[in-house]
């Protein structure tokens, strides 16, 4: 198809032109092209050089990588039965192709031959790291296996791709299939006006009377938190914990199969379990160290966790059910701090929040963000922005070279509101990773997506404080991508160890708690007034409310993840949901129901061949880093250009061009102090 928009890389991606019928022929043509390039490298008899080996290998799949990122993105944000079918048709083929690259005996010999050259032995910096990591990656992907082992590994990868895609589809379909229509307004007591209006609008959009609730976060979260009617809360809760367990969309056998395949893959490659395989090249290095990290935090958190739970039950005056926890916790918080988070919504109109965030990063990092119209997008809600270097200081310039003020660093799309054709959650993704060498600079292209409270009627989208944090979090990932100044594309941006990748995102959330920062964007959507002083004090005072429970929730997810990937044996341990429920019970305030199966919708773990599988601990690991790193901003000023410049230079610009532990030490001058997180969480 000569006019297939997937066949070439364009910085202005023609999202409005990509059709489901482009996917199969386009991707198959690009797979064939990439395969030919890989085979050419493997058969090349010329002396090995960095250019004809390392760079050639990187470029071999560049067009295919780009097309896959575009199709996968559209399937996540604007899916249709036709697009899903097309993606499902080509995904096994692309997975098989990528899996066979490190299994190519000819290619492995070329890499080894290059590693033995004088040029390779003289490499330094990012080029040396690229060679070292490529050799290690090939070994970890089966380059040294025998022929039978390579065949089996390729089969595993294809099957993993198939089942993880099916897992994700089941979650989306299950979430979208459930709704609760409430006809009697009397059943909606306690629900904030904003959520009530959204529920009414949702019902009207479906041509129904009454108020409609779904399992999408902007609908589910306020309902489970504020509704006085325990019966309605229970219906919502039970539907949520049973997502993707229905007969036609049951993810439980899929989870077991994914775990089996991951375990077999790890064993085939010489690792004791999938956790050791995944964590090998991350900061934790072993599954045992990751588990030890979580166990230490749990031990430090347990006493406060017990106190908080006792206090909540005493406040409620009875033993609580799991659908009561958020409700009574909100009532208790209001009483203790006279604080209702809904009071903050009028001060957080979405566009003002976004614009204020841009002002903050301009102060910190010397960059300028500008919206640009007329660019093809996948939905009318999507906005497009360009990021310019506004500092003239050269922060992050390659090899310390001066930067160029007003140089285009990159661009990104922002898609913040939920749709039924869009998957749940919030995320950042990259479409194009640029490079910077002494000779040239190429800009970056990415996107940030969320499922935030949408506009209702003639009101703008008014967000919760937690949703504001989500915007800042995802934009932190985006900054890591667009501020990258690395001479090797494969090491640019967010292509870093997963227990380091959350540092740039999580540290951004800190500015959502600072008065000086909030005053830049938190303004009443009608009056323009800043958050009143007493309301701000209540917000900050309530920050550590049930801090132990918030910490234990994340630790529980980390525990169940590692135990599933290190210890679970279906023959011995039985039903995977019962196994997971027993682990998670230790981290929950109330007894979990027998049918509790949140892991059936745990897309972080099971919606991609690796994803956060055996790596969910990364959130807490990176939270230690971000809490500690922010102490430098506190000491030097939250808008300190010196601290911001150092963070840009040593963290945001470096990608994976150096060991993350060393990058952290360059910024802080020392290793991280875990006490910073405990202090921020009010646990010491």
Active site amino acids = 474
Find out whether 258 and 604 touch, Cβ atoms under 8 Å.
no
∠ CA 368-373-376, rounded to 5°? 115
Question: How many whole angstroms from its chain centre is CA 22?
Answer: 28
Rounded-to-integer distance, Cα 348 and Cα 468, Å: 8
Vertex 184, ends 182 and 185: CA angle to 5°?
A: 95
Question: Residue 543 and residue 683: Cα distance in Å, rounded?
Answer: 12
What is each CA distance from 597 to 168, 262, 283, 372, 401, in whole angstroms?
Answer: 15, 21, 30, 44, 53
- The β-bridge partners of 410 are 387, 444
Q: 154 vs 5, 31, 141, 158, 265, CA distance in Å?
A: 29, 16, 10, 6, 10
Rounded to whole angstroms, the Cα distance separating 629 from 533 reads 27
d(CA 388, CA 12): 17
How far apart CA 168 and CA 174 sit, in angstroms, is 10
Q: Is 209 helix (H, G, I), strand (E, B) or coil?
A: coil
Q: Are 210 and 188 in contact (CB under 8 A)?
A: no
d(Cα 539, Cα 339) in Å, to the nearest integer?
Answer: 7
Cβ atoms of 211 and 181 within 8 Å: the answer is yes
H or E element at residue 663: helix 660-668
Burial status of residue 483 (CB atoms within 10 A of its CB: 0-12, 13-18, 19 or more):
buried
Q: Which two tokens stand for residue 465?
A: 């404080």
- Asked whether the CA dihedral 629, 630, 634, 636 is positive or negative, the reply is positive
At 364, which helix (H) or strand (E)? helix 350-365
- Report the 10 Å Cβ neighbour count for 489: 21
Cα gap 391→407, rounded to integer Å = 10
**Quick one: tokens of 652?**
């945001």
Phi, psi of 17 (to 5 degrees): -105, -20
The residue behind tokens 């166990």 is 295
- As a whole number of Å, the CA-based R_g of the chain is 25
Whole-angstrom distance, CA of residue 103 vs CA of residue 139: 9
- Cα 472 to its chain centre, rounded Å, is 13
Q: Which stretch of DSSP H or E encloses residue 522?
A: none
Burial of 253 (0-12, 13-18, 19+ CB in 10 A): exposed
DSSP code of residue 496:
S
Q: CB atoms < 10 A from the CB of 176, how many? A: 14
Of the candidates 619, 495, 571, the residue with the CA atom closest to the CA atom of residue 263: 571
140: left (phi over 0), alpha (psi -120 to 50) or beta: alpha
Q: Is 608 left (phi over 0), alpha (psi -120 to 50) or beta?
A: beta
Give per-residue burial for 518-533: e unless 16+ CB within 10 Å, then b.
bebbbbebeeeebbee
Q: Which residue matches tokens 């991280």?
A: 672
In sequence order, the β-bridge partners of residue 462 are: 349
């Amino acid at each position: 198809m000569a006019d297939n928009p997937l066949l070439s890389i364009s910085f202005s991606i023609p999202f409005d032109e990509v059709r489901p019928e482009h996917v199969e022929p386009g991707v198959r043509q690009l797979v064939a092209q990439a395969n030919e390039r890989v085979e050419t490298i493997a058969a090349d008899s010329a002396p090995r050089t960095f250019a004809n080996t390392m760079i050639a290998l990187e470029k071999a799949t560049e067009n295919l990588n780009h097309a896959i990122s575009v199709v996968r993105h559209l399937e996540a944000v604007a899916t249709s039965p036709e697009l899903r079918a097309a993606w499902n048709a080509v995904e096994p083929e692309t997975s098989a192709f990528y899996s066979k690259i490190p299994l190519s005996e000819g290619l492995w010999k070329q890499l080894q031959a290059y590693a033995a050259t004088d040029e390779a032995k003289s490499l330094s910096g990012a080029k040396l790291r690229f060679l070292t990591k490529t050799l290690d990656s090939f070994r970890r992907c089966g380059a040294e296996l025998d022929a039978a082992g390579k065949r089996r590994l390729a089969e595993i990868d294809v099957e993993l791709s198939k089942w993880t895609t099916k897992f994700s589809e089941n979650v989306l379909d299950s979430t979208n299939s459930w709704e609760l229509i409430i006809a009697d307004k009397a059943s909606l007591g306690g629900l904030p006006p904003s959520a009530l209006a959204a529920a009414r609008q949702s019902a009207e959009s479906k041509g129904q009377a009454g108020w409609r609730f779904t399992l999408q976060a902007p609908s589910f979260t306020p309902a489970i938190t504020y509704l006085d009617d325990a019966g309605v809360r229970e219906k919502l809760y039970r539907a949520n914990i049973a997502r993707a367990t229905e007969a036609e969309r049951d993810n439980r056998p899929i989870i077991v199969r994914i775990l089996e395949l991951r375990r077999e893959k790890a064993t085939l490659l010489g690792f004791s379990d999938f956790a050791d395989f995944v964590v090998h090249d991350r900061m934790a290095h072993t599954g045992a160290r990751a588990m030890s990290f979580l166990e230490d935090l749990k031990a430090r958190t347990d006493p406060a966790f017990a106190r908080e739970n006792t206090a909540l039950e005493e406040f409620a005056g009875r033993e609580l059910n799991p659908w009561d926890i958020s409700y009574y916790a909100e009532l208790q918080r209001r009483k203790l701090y006279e604080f209702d988070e809904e009071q903050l919504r009028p001060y957080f109109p979405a566009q003002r929040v976004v614009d204020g965030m841009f002002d903050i990063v301009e102060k910190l990092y010397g960059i300028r963000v500008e919206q640009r119209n007329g660019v093809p997008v996948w939905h009318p809600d999507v906005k497009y922005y360009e990021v310019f270097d506004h500092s003239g200081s050269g922060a992050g310039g390659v090899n310390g070279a001066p930067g160029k003020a007003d140089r285009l660093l990159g661009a990104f799309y922002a898609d913040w509101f939920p749709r039924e054709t869009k998957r749940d959650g919030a995320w950042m993704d990259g479409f194009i990773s640029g490079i910077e060498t002494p000779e040239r600079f190429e800009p970056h292209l990415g996107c940030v997506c969320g499922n935030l409270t949408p506009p209702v009627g003639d009101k703008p989208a008014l967000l919760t404080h937690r949703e504001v944090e989500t915007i800042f979090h995802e934009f932190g990932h985006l900054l890591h991508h667009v501020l990258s100044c690395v001479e090797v594309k494969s090491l640019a941006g967010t292509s870093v160890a997963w227990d380091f990748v959350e540092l740039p995102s999580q540290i951004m959330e800190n500015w959502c708690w600072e008065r000086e920062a909030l005053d830049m964007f938190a303004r009443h959507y009608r009056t323009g007034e800043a958050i009143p002083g007493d309301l701000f004090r209540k917000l900050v005072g309530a920050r550590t409310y049930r801090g132990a429970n918030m910490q234990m929730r994340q630790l529980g997810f980390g525990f169940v993840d590692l135990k599933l990937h290190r210890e679970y044996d279906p023959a011995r341990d039985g039903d995977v949901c019962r196994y997971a429920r027993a682990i998670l019970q230790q981290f929950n305030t109330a007894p979990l129901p027998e049918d509790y199966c949140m892991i059936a919708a745990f897309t972080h773990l099971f919606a991609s061949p690796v994803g956060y599988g055996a790596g969910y601990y990364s959130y807490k690991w990176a939270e230690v880093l971000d809490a500690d790193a922010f102490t430098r901003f506190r000491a030097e000023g939250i808008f300190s250009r010196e601290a911001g410049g150092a963070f840009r230079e040593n963290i945001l610009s470096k990608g994976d061009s150096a060991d993350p532990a060393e990058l952290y030490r360059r910024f802080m001058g020392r290793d991280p102090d875990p006490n910073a997180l405990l202090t921020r969480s009010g646990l010491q």
